[in-house]
Amino acid sequence: MEIQSIGPNEFLSIDGPASVRVIDGRLYVLGVEYGPGSSFTVMRGRRIIAKSLSECKIETVLGPDGKIETINGANEVIDIWDKALSTIRLRNSTVVVMGAMDVGKTTVTTILVNKGVKEGLKVGVIDGDPGQNDIGPPTTISASIATSFITHLTQLRNLRSIFVKTTSIEHVWDYVLNSMTKIVNELWHNYNVDAVVINTDGWISEENAIKFKLELTRRTGANHVVVIKRGDESTDLLKELMKIAVNVITIPSPPNARVRDRDDRKIRREMGYSKYLMPSRELNVNLREKPIVNLPLFNGLRYDNYITRLIRRSLNMAIHYIEQWRGAAVAIGNVKDFQIRNIGGVNIAILPMNWERGLLVALEDRDNYLLSLGVLRKIYYNTGKAVISVPKTFINEGLVDHIRLGMIRVNDNYEEVEKVLYINRIESLLSSQNILENSN
Ligand SMILES: Nc1ncnc2c1ncn2[C@@H]1O[C@H](COP(=O)(O)OP(=O)(O)OP(=O)(O)O)[C@@H](O)[C@H]1O
Ligand SMILES: [Mg+2]
């Protein structure tokens, strides 16, 4: 523990883990004035900039790697952000925060949440970044309601999550769009919030990324978009946003932001899976009663031995299981990699043995909201049952309506070992034959 005095209008850079208590004076942090007796924490791996509004005396406790230092505020963005964000009237507004990776989206979301709380509003918050989600587990978009000041979105209780199958939005942006719209509506209509703030992922420069961000703005009825600009990364996005009826506020990214590389992000996600799923237990699910929505095994047509033999001969491989729905079929065959073959006008998706092992899945309710994440261990084709690892604490088995396959394979240590992109190809194949319901 350390006690420190700071002059007025000084800037502090605080690297977590750290906790700070104001003894005397006033400290401005993420849109909030902390006065005598109040305190806040900075999480591990995060940096928060504070500004003293008067002579201050603070007490700090630093964890390993925690650090606190006064910095030259000449390049600091606190005041610029504050001025720009104070032009937003939050009541009855939906605000979307956009920008590339590491520009401060989550931080700006936090500031907006605090500003709403300061106005006495019930603020709906959506973390729409399935890669680095701070409200719910990775692979979801998650929502919460804030009624008190925070320094990190992780301090918010997860109210609602929708599983979007993967952490890379570019493969599932259509589904994410539907899910975000749905969860925004839910916050307005079922939770009676006074404002909604949406944090987004860092995918902004490809054509589809821009299309996604524009549609998100339109479909959620957002009236303000905050774009955090670093270099010319967001130029194309800004150009398109200017064409639609939304108030666009552009702010600079902080000069000293901590950058997280791919490995950092992956490790953080893996910690997210294990924190969520461990300790775990095994759940037996009858897939005839609780089907896999994006691969509805056991409700199609089974062949007799004669036809199976013909198919086996025609494909020239051993087939362990095969099932057909109209013009599409799924087989478990002796292949190394996923493939689609055509026999007599029927497209057969052939999956390798053990294709399911370690696949991240969601157990969902009838409205497609997440009840629990799980890891698929095995499917028994003779009985139609699946074994899924779920958190030991999961008790809502009775509410499970169906299972949704994800596109990430994890090993026993919850490390991501494969992005299983063929799940999308199976879905397209089955959708093209009208076999899958349009969910969401
Ligand atoms: N004004 C600032 N000065 C220095 N560092 C900052 C400032 N604001 C935020 N940071 C730090 O910069 C890092 C990136 O910020 P943040 O997580 O808000 O960005 P992001 O755009 O959400 O990143 P991601 O792409 O990972 O979602 C974080 O460690 C954050 O604590
Ligand atoms: Mg973020």
Report the pLDDT value the prediction gives residue 240, as an integer from 0 to 100.
Answer: 97
- 437 falls within a domain: no
The domain that holds 364 is classified in CATH as 2.60.40
Q: What is the mean pLDDT of residues 287-303?
A: 93
Quick one: 292 and 229 in the same domain?
A: no
- Boundary of a domain, candidates 232, 259, 286: 259
Residues 119-162: tens digit of each pLDDT? 999 999 999 999 999 999 999 999 999 999 999 999 999 999 99
Q: Which residue has the higher pLDDT, 315 or 379?
A: 379
Task: Give 99 Cα–ligand 2 centroid separation in angstroms.
Answer: 9
Tell me: pLDDT of 437 over 80.
Answer: no
Task: Give 427 Cα–ligand 2 centroid separation in angstroms.
Answer: 29
Quick one: 222 and 188 in the same domain?
A: yes
Task: Give 169 Cα–ligand 1 centroid separation in angstroms.
Answer: 20
The domain that holds 158 is classified in CATH as 3.40.50.300
- 384 falls within a domain: yes
Quick one: 376 and 295 in the same domain?
A: yes
> Ligand 1 in contact with 51 (CB < 6 A)?
no
Instruction: Note the ligand closest to the C-alpha atom of 203.
Output: 1
* Calpha distance 390→281 (Å, rounded): 6
Burial category of 125 from C-beta neighbours within 10 Å (exposed 0-12, middle 13-18, buried 19 and up): buried
- 404 falls within a domain: yes
Quick one: 221 and 160 in the same domain?
A: yes
Ligand 1 atom with minimal separation from the 77 CA: 1
> Ligand 1 in contact with 254 (CB < 6 A)?
yes
Residues ≥6 apart with Cβ < 8 Å to 108: 81, 85, 97, 226, 228, 251
Residues 231-279: tens digit of each pLDDT? 999 999 999 999 998 999 999 999 878 788 899 999 999 999 999 999 9
Task: Give 102 Cα–ligand 2 centroid separation in angstroms.
Answer: 7
> Ligand 1 in contact with 107 (CB < 6 A)?
yes
Sheet arrangement for strand 18-24: 2-6, 56-62, 18-24, 39-42
Residues ≥6 apart with Cβ < 8 Å to 96: 198, 200, 213, 216, 217, 220, 222, 224, 225, 226
Quick one: 128 and 245 in the same domain?
A: yes
> Ligand 1 in contact with 101 (CB < 6 A)?
yes
Report the pLDDT value the prediction gives residue 438, as an integer from 0 to 100.
Answer: 57
- 156 falls within a domain: yes
Q: How many domains does the chain have?
A: 3
Tell me: pLDDT of 430 over 90.
Answer: yes
Instruction: Note the ligand closest to the C-alpha atom of 265.
Output: 1
> Ligand 1 in contact with 49 (CB < 6 A)?
yes
Report the pLDDT value the prediction gives residue 435, as an integer from 0 to 100.
Answer: 84
Ligand 1 atom with minimal separation from the 202 CA: 25
Closest-CA residue, ligand 1 atom 25, reads 101
Closest-CA residue, ligand 1 atom 31, reads 47
pLDDT band at residue 218 using 50, 70 and 90 as cut-offs: very high
Report the pLDDT value the prediction gives residue 304, as an integer from 0 to 100.
Answer: 83
Sheet arrangement for strand 339-343: 319-325, 328-333, 346-352, 339-343
Task: Give 259 Cα–ligand 1 centroid separation in angstroms.
Answer: 8
Quick one: 97 and 128 in the same domain?
A: yes
* Calpha distance 142→154 (Å, rounded): 11
Closest-CA residue, ligand 1 atom 23, reads 102
Task: Give 159 Cα–ligand 2 centroid separation in angstroms.
Answer: 19
Closest-CA residue, ligand 1 atom 2, reads 254
Report the pLDDT value the prediction gives residue 93, as an integer from 0 to 100.
Answer: 98
Testing ligand 1's pocket by substitution, the residue of 106, 114, 197, 267 carrying the most ligand atoms inside 8 A of its CB is 106
CA end-to-end span of the chain: 51
CB 423 within 8 A of CB 360: no
Q: Is the peptide bond before 255 cis (omega within 30 degrees of 0)?
A: no
- Which phi and psi (to 5°) does residue 426 adopt? -65, -45
- 115 falls within a domain: yes
Quick one: 158 and 254 in the same domain?
A: yes
The domain that holds 27 is classified in CATH as 2.60.120.1030
Ligand 1 atom with minimal separation from the 129 CA: 27
Ligand 1 atom with minimal separation from the 108 CA: 18
* Calpha distance 45→264 (Å, rounded): 10
Mean pLDDT estimate for the chain: 95
Closest-CA residue, ligand 1 atom 15, reads 104
User: Percentage of the chain with pLDDT > 70?
Assistant: 99
Residues 70-124: tens digit of each pLDDT? 999 888 999 999 999 999 999 999 999 999 999 999 999 999 999 999 999 999 9
- 218 falls within a domain: yes
Closest-CA residue, ligand 1 atom 16, reads 104
Maximal C-alpha separation, the chain: 87
Q: What is the mean pLDDT of residues 331-347?
A: 94
Task: Give 439 Cα–ligand 1 centroid separation in angstroms.
Answer: 35
Report the pLDDT value the prediction gives residue 167, as an integer from 0 to 100.
Answer: 96
Task: Give 422 Cα–ligand 2 centroid separation in angstroms.
Answer: 28
Listed range (61-65, 309-313, 399-403) with the worst mean pLDDT: 309-313
Testing ligand 1's pocket by substitution, the residue of 41, 47, 112 carrying the most ligand atoms inside 8 A of its CB is 47
- 325 falls within a domain: no
- 308 falls within a domain: no
Quick one: 25 and 147 in the same domain?
A: no
Task: Give 52 Cα–ligand 2 centroid separation in angstroms.
Answer: 26
Q: Which residues constitute the domain of residue 63?
A: 2-73
Task: Give 151 Cα–ligand 2 centroid separation in angstroms.
Answer: 13
Q: What is the mean pLDDT of residues 167-176?
A: 95
Quick one: 55 and 188 in the same domain?
A: no
* Calpha distance 291→309 (Å, rounded): 27
pLDDT band at residue 306 using 50, 70 and 90 as cut-offs: confident
Tell me: pLDDT of 439 over 60.
Answer: no
